């Protein structure tokens, strides 16, 4: 037997130091929202209802880490490696202050308990490497992520994504156009809307103060196709969206079990 055949190939684990030490208890919550195969995918799915506890120690620690990263203009931001397991479990989103991280080129969100990301991630315009790998409760991403135009590489656990190409789980059903006299856009139920507030249009960056149009679109971000939630201020902004990725629902859509997706692999 040749040396090449008998010697196992060793791969570098670039996530070996992506999170802090275990704390003796679970550092994230289990999730099977989308199933894991064609036989286990549900007929319908819903957004996670979790709301961020702003008094939690993990949240306060994260805010401080963002401030530190902004102050020293570091190019890599991997906050969860500096947090305990208990703190990591307390964080279900990132703060809007990540908009200050304009020097960051690599964002590491490995193995987190996150269920959503804020639209302010679109301000991280120097981002090149996006790594939310094994964050299994992240089933979708904000459309604003496409404004990080330099992202060239990504590492995403695609099997947990809505509409993923492997077995096409459904998308949450979105509301039809909603007007400001019907709901307070600054105080939304995340289990219904996917967010706690919508203030800025995902497309034109104008205010969302009269009406809200929510749609799904699947687009390439780095090396992965991601399900992206668009919060638009008008039908014109929805019409201005680019074409979805080939092999996915061919138009922006409002999700739900009646949306016909291409056959999974």
Residues 20-72 pLDDT 10s: 777 777 889 999 999 999 999 999 999 999 999 999 999 999 999 999 999 99
pLDDT at 4: 44
If you count DSSP H runs as helices and E runs as strands, how many of each does the chain have, helices first? 5, 8
Query: Which residues have C-beta within 8 Å of that of residue 163, sequence separation ≥ 6?
Result: 169, 170, 171, 216, 218, 227, 248, 249, 261
- Residues in the chain, pLDDT under 50: 1-5, 9-12
- What is the three-class DSSP state of 217? strand
Residues forming a β-bridge with 9: none
Q: What is the pLDDT of residue 263?
A: 87
Model pLDDT, residue 13 = 56
- Map tokens 């307070």 to a residue: 184
Answer whether 0.85 is exceeded by the pTM: yes
Rounded CA-CA distance 238/80 in Å is: 35
**Given this model, what pLDDT does residue 14 score?**
64
pLDDT at 10 (0 to 100): 40
Sheet of 106-108: strands edge to edge?
A: 76-77, 106-108, 129-131, 153-154
Contact 28, 88 (CB under 8 A): yes
Task: Give the burial class of 168: count Cβ atoms within 10 A of its Cβ; 0-12 exposed, 13-18 middle, 19 or more buried.
Answer: buried
Q: Six-digit token pair at 107?
A: 């964002």
């Amino acid at each position: 037997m040749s040396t090449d055949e008998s010697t196992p190939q060793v791969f570098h684990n670039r996530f070996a130091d992506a999170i802090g030490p275990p704390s003796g208890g679970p550092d994230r919550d289990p999730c099977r929202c989308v199933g894991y195969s064609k036989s286990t995918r549900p007929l319908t799915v819903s957004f996670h209802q979790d709301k961020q506890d702003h008094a939690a120690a993990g949240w306060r620690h994260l805010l401080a880490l963002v401030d530190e990263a902004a102050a020293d203009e570091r190019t890599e931001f991997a906050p969860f490696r500096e947090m305990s397991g208990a703190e990591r479990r307390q964080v279900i989103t990132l703060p809007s202050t990540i908009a200050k991280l304009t020097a960051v080129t690599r964002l590491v969100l490995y193995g987190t308990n996150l269920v959503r990301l804020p639209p302010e991630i679109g301000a991280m315009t120097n981002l090149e490497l996006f790594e939310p790998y094994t964050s299994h409760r992240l089933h979708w991403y904000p459309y604003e992520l496409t404004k990080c135009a330099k992202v060239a590489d990504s590492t995403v656990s695609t099997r947990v994504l809505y509409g993923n190409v492997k077995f096409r789980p459904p998308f949450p059903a979105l509301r039809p156009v909603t007007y400001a006299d019907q709901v307070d856009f600054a105080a939304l139920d995340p289990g219904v809307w996917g967010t706690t507030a919508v203030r800025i249009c995902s497309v034109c960056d104008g205010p969302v103060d009269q009406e809200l149009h929510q749609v799904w679109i699947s687009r390439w971000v780095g090396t992965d196709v991601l399900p992206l939630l668009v919060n638009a201020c008008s039908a014109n902004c929805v019409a201005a969206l680019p074409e979805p990725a080939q092999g996915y629902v061919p138009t922006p859509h409002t999700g739900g079990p009646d949306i016909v997706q291409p056959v999974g692999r």
